Structure 1
Amino acid sequence: MTPLPTSLILHQYDFSNFAEKARLMMGFKDLAWRAVEIPPIEPKPKLTPLTGGYRRTPVLQDGADVWCDTKLIARELERRVPQPTFYPPNSSGTADAIAWWAEQQFMRPTALYVSGINADHMPEGLHADRAKLHGLPIPSIEAVRKAAYRNLQLVRPQVKWIADMLADGRPYLLGDLPSIADFATYHAVWFFRGRNIDCREVLNAYPRLIAWRDRMEAIGHGHRTNIDADVALAEARAATPATPRASEPQEGDPLPGQRARVRASDNAKDWIEGAVHFIDADEIALLHENGEVGQVAVHFPRLGYDWRSMS
Structure 2
Amino acid sequence: MADLILHHYVTSPFSEKVRLILGVKKLPWKSVFIPAIMPKPDVLELTGGYRKTPFLQIGADMYCDSALIADVLEHLQPESTLYPEPEKGMSRILAQWADTTLFWAAMAWNLQPRGAAEVFATAPPEAARAFGEDRGKMTTGNMTRLRPGDATSAYKSYLRRLSDMLDDKPYLLGEVPCIADFSAYHPLWYTRRIEAVKGILDLTPAVLDWMDRIAAIGHGTPDRFSADDAIAAAQAATPASLLSDSTFQDDHGIPLGSAVSLRAESFGLEETAGTLIAASRMHYTLERTTDRVGTVHVHFPRIGYVLKLREPS
TM-score by length of 1: 0.90
2: CA distance, partners of 1:148 / 1:48 = 33
Q: Superposed, which structure 2 residues align to 1:56-205 within 5 Å?
A: 56-116=52-112, 117-120=114-117, 121-122=119-120, 124=127, 125-135=130-140, 147-167=147-167, 169-194=168-193, 196-205=194-203
Which digits, 9 at most, give the CA deviation of each residue in 1:193-219, with x for residues without a partner? Answer: 24x534221111222111111000011
Q: Determine if contact 1:35/1:225 at 8 Å carries over to the other structure.
A: yes
Q: Superposed, which structure 2 residues align to 1:248-263 within 5 Å?
A: 248-263=248-263
SS in 1 for 2:235: helix
The one-letter amino acid of 1:93's match is: G
Q: Determine if contact 1:114/1:148 at 8 Å carries over to the other structure.
A: no
Identity of aligned residues (%): 36
Which digits, 9 at most, give the CA deviation of each residue in 1:131-171, with x for residues without a partner? Answer: 1111459xxxxxx9x9434422221111111111112x300
2: CA distance, partners of 1:253 / 1:192 = 43
Corresponding residue for 1:140? none
1: CA distance, partners of 2:147 / 2:203 = 23
Corresponding residue for 1:301? 301
Q: CA deviation at 1:282?
A: 0.8
* Larger mean Cα displacement after TM superposition, 110-119 or 293-302: 110-119
Q: CA deviation at 1:112?
A: 1.7
Q: What is the alpha-carbon root mean square deviation over aligned residues?
A: 2.1
2: CA distance, partners of 1:242 / 1:84 = 25
Q: Determine if contact 2:2/2:59 at 8 Å carries over to the other structure.
A: no
2: CA distance, partners of 1:26 / 1:198 = 30
The one-letter amino acid of 1:177's match is: V
Corresponding residue for 1:141? none
The count of aligned residue pairs is 298
1: CA distance, partners of 2:253 / 2:55 = 25
TM-score by length of 2: 0.89
* Larger mean Cα displacement after TM superposition, 147-156 or 110-119: 147-156
SS in 2 for 1:54: coil
Gaps of 5+ in 2: none
Q: CA deviation at 1:6?
A: 6.0
2: CA distance, partners of 1:252 / 1:42 = 32
Which digits, 9 at most, give the CA deviation of each residue in 1:276-299, with x for residues without a partner? Answer: 122201100101122221111000
Gaps of 5+ in 1: 138-143
